[in-house]
Structures are given as C-alpha cells and as structure tokens.
Amino acid sequence: MADYKAPLRDMRFVLNEVFEVSKLWAQLPALAEVVDEDTASAILEEAGKVTAGSIAPLNRSGDEEGCSWHEGAVRTPAGFVEAYRTYAEGGWVGVGGDPEFGGMGMPKVIGAQVEEMVNSANLSFGLYPMLTAGACLSILNHASEELKAQYLPNMYAGVWAGSMCLTEPHAGTDLGIIRTKAEPQADGSYKISGTKIFITGGEHDLTENIIHLVLAKLPDAPAGPKGISLFLVPKVMVNADGSLGERNALSCGSIEHKMGIKASATCVMNFDGATGWIVDAPNKGLAAMFTMMNYERLGVGIQGLSLGERSYQSAVDYARERIQSRAPTGPQAKDKVADPIIVHPDVRRMLLTMKALNEGGRAFSSYVAMQLDTAKYSEDAATRKRAEELVALLTPVAKAFLTDMALETTVHGQQIFGGHGFIREWGQEQLVRDCRITQIYEGTNGIQALDLVGRKVVGSGGAFYKHFADEIKAFTDSADASLAEFVNPLKDAITNLEQMTADLLERAKANPNEVGAASVEYLQVFGYTAYAYMWALMARTALAKQDQDDFYVSKLGTARFFFARLLPRIHSLTASVKAGSESLYLLDAAQF
C-alpha cells in the first residue's frame, strides 16, 4: 500500500477558498479569540505529519496482530502504546476540548479534518481518541462542575481515556429496554450493575484509567427511553487529590473477534456494583447521550470518507504504475510492452468515482461541522436555531451517505488492484473490511434513514428541510451564466427532491409504512443532491482560478464527472421512492 499523505491542499481549498471559514470565525467571538487561518493551517500541517509518520505505519501490522484479551486485561498491538503517547502529548485528543480544562478549543470544522487524517492513517487507532472526545463532550455539557474539573483535564490530555456504554445483549437501537441498574447510595454516588456489549475501547493498555459513561435505570425510573439516566463510572477510582485509588467493580468479560477494525478493542463490559456518579439529572440520560451523538455520527461519516481517501491514494498510484494491455486509442507508453491501466475507461470511471465521492464528502462533512460550530458558538438566537435544525437534518445524511459511498469507494479501490486487491499485503482488502462497520455502528444506516425521513422531515413538517432547500435555491438564483453547466442540474435535483419530499409528507399522513418504505432511497437522493450543491460551490471557486494551477483544472474535471455520471443516479432512486410501500407487504412472513 502507498504511504499515506494527508490531503492538506484539498482541505485548505474547502476551508479557505470554498467556505471561507475565517469569516465565520470572525462572526463568533468565542472562536475569533482562538483560531485564524494561519493557526488552522499550522494545526493541520502538524496533524498530517503525526498521522502519516507515527500512526499510518501501524495500520496493517495492527490488523494482522489485533487486540488480545487475557483474564480481563486487553493488550493493543505492538507500537500502539507508543503512538498513542505521541498523539496525546501533541494535544490531539483534546483538539476540540474546552480550554478551561486543557483542551485546544478548536472549532469542529478543524477537528473534522484532524479526524479524517487519523482515521485515514489507522481507523482502529483513531477510535480510541474519538470515543474519549465523545465522552468528554457529554461530561462538558451535562456533568457537574466538580466532575468536569476532576475528569476532563486528564481525558483531554490523553492520560485517561473514555468510553460510551450503551448497547446490551438484548438492546441495541431500542435503548428503552436496557436492564442495567443504578442503585442510589447515601453519599450521592450510585452502584451500577449490568452487562454492556460492543463497547469500543472498554478496556485497553493505552492509558492508566478509562472513564466509562454508562446508560442505566434508577429503581423508580419510568418505562422506556424516558427512564434512562447516564452515569460516569471510572475503571480506577479517583481520590480527592486526583491520584488513582482502587480498581472499581467492573471488568472486561471478553473482546469480539471481528471482520475489521481488529486493533480496536470491542469489549463486553460487566458492571458488578461499580461506583458511579450521575451525569445531568435523573432520567435525562438520552439528552446527554445525544449531545455526543451528533458529533459522533458525523465522526463516523468522516471515518468512511477517511477510508475512501486512503483507498484512492493507493489505487491511483497503482493505476499509474501497473502496465496491462493497450489503450483503446492505441499505445500511450510506446517504450513499454503495455500501457499503465489508468488509460483504460473503466479504471478511469472507478478512479473518478472515488475522487468525486471523496472530495464531495470532504466538503459536505466540513459544511455540517460548520453548522455545529454555528449552533454552539453563535450569540444570535435565530442563527443558532437555524444551525441546530440544519445539524438535526443533516447528521443522519452525513453518517449514512458518507459511509455508503465509502464502501463503494473502497470496493472500487480494491477492484483497481485486480487480484492483488484480494491479497492482504496490498492493504486494499483491509480498507473494505474496516469500512463495513461504519454502516452499522452509531445507529445503522437504515436507522439513520428512518431518523431523516420520520423525525427530521415528516416530524418537523418539512421545516428543517426548508432551511437547506432555501439555501440551495438562493445559491442557484444568484449564480451567473458561467456556472450554468453545474447550476442547471442542481436546480433540477433540488426540484426533484422538493417534489419527492412534498409527496412523501402527504402519503405518510395516510399510511405510516410509507416512511419506512421510502427512507433509504430518500436519504440517497438527499445525499446526491447535497453533494451536487457542494460540487457546484467548489466548481464556482475552481472556475475563477483555473488558469492559476492544475489543481483547479482537476477540480473542474471532477465536478463535470460528478454531474454527468453520478448525479443521474437520483432518477432510479426517486422511482423507487414513488413506488410506495405496497410491494413490501405482498408476502406474509411465512412466504419469505
């Protein structure tokens, strides 16, 4: 596999030239004090060096060795402890953390680029700091000042790690039926008892302590999701002076043996009367969890993008070097016995598909991250509300569409290698295996589609959707004639999405099955339309600068490919949505 190189040029293009993020930061006083274009550039440059130099070399060896479990202890693969120490000492675990507790305080749009780099370098490694950052976010927004002061500094510093303990053997998506119990104690603490599964980073040897956030139910809790509370449960008890005390009453029962992300410890965690403290108020656990979820689900989408980027880098290098057959138009490399496979139309189709989906995904994930920053930092209530509603609408799209496109992308990368793509030494098959989980965890992509259509579109009466549609229409209405080749198909796409949304809203009133029947294809149409908006924005910038640099010429060519070959996919998907739910219910269960 080719060495990983952080795509800093494209990241800067998206942030500085397309979105002009420094203008957004200037409007948000809390960010204006900590970041500007030069600071951001330096951070990304250094992150690129750390991820490429210290973390990427461990990707294949980590996959080969995997994690090991022995009598409750988990060991990560060779080199992970040292690499994690390097990463933590650079402040990268707390890149988006609150400066009051030792974090860098960077906006999410910068954190998103760092996440992409670390996950491209090594997804298994990247999961450890990602879960810590997610736990920190919930603690910061919902825990008491005492808990924040006691736990956040060491978590941001990477001295302690974090985990989120949600899923149980019988309760995945339906968290309302969890059985883990929390018994109140006289000193204000709680005794937590129960079993959690699929816990990323639940046990490992990277840090001296792991701070678990555990969903559980109080004895008098109401039934269902309204009765869930969240508790902070340390692996090792923390003394009043901040030193570590005795081991808490919890253990790792085993680790899973998985298709991919083998260097990430996926644990069964047993809590046997473990001491914990409530986060937020009783029965408010889901609210605290969902504070983290919007960030984590975008983060999973970025994981997909990361793997697609890594696959593309290897595939394009291979396609330039591998010689096989002659070009349809005649020999191109006349000094060789055959031409590089990059001359062949189908190889170009796959490479351009990868490039278009990766670069569209980078722009879209950055756009969603900017909405998160606006929602968090804006001092204007109306601006905050609009951003919050856009985040709610776009988060399931970012999680599901980016990861669906990532599987297509990594499979293309493997295919370009031919038989070598099936061989472990070349690295492409690992990216396919690692990518597959991104469509499943943090809420399966089918659940994301239901969330988009049922809660965010139908549930808001189309109000959330209107923010996004109106923004796209304002862009197309203001675009000049030079952008017609990009703007006209974007207009058609948003008109199609508008009509499909109105039709679905109407059909859902009469038949609840319509939402579930349409949701996956609807999300896909939404995703391609969102990417079309991103590509039109990028084309506008590139068109004005195409005489300056081949980078902009490449960007324009990729934009034209997207509109010509990928955006038309919406037509067959729209036909599926219009077909309705009837055909899904023609068979009884016994007839399957």
* 140 CB burial (10 A radius; 0-12, 13-18, 19+): buried
Q: Give whole-number Cα distances, 435 to 174, 300, 307, 311, 448, in Å.
A: 24, 10, 7, 11, 17
Write out the two tokens for 281.
């108020």
- 3-state secondary structure (DSSP) of residue 96: coil
Name the phi and psi angles at 18, rounded to 5: -85, -55
* 119 CB burial (10 A radius; 0-12, 13-18, 19+): buried
Find where tokens 């999410």 sit.
108
Report the alpha-carbon distance of residue 485 to residue 407 in Å, rounded.
29
- Residue length of the chain: 592
Helices 569-578 and 513-545 meet at what angle, rounded to 10? Answer: 160
151 in Cβ contact with 139 (< 8 Å): yes
Write out the two tokens for 423.
């061989």
Helices (H), 438-512: 445-450, 463-478, 484-510
Report the alpha-carbon distance of residue 332 to residue 336 in Å, rounded.
9
Report the alpha-carbon distance of residue 473 to residue 470 in Å, rounded.
5
Report the alpha-carbon distance of residue 359 to residue 515 in Å, rounded.
30
CB-side neighbour CA atoms (13 Å) of 176: 6
Closest CA to 407 of 322, 305, 506: 305
Element (H, E) at 134: helix 123-142
Report the alpha-carbon distance of residue 456 to residue 464 in Å, rounded.
7
Report the alpha-carbon distance of residue 289 to residue 108 in Å, rounded.
18
**Annotation says 309 is catalytic:** no
Write out the two tokens for 17.
């030239």
Q: Of residues 296, 309, 442, 521, which has the active-site annotation?
A: 442
Report the alpha-carbon distance of residue 480 to residue 338 in Å, rounded.
45
Name the phi and psi angles at 579, rounded to 5: -70, -20
425 — alpha (psi -120 to 50), left (phi > 0) or beta? Answer: alpha
Please, what is the Cα angle at 53 between 51 and 59, to 5 degrees?
70
124 in Cβ contact with 434 (< 8 Å): yes
Q: Which residues, at least 6 apart from 171, have a Cβ–Cβ distance to it below 8 Å?
A: 177, 178, 179
Residues labelled as active-site residues: 442
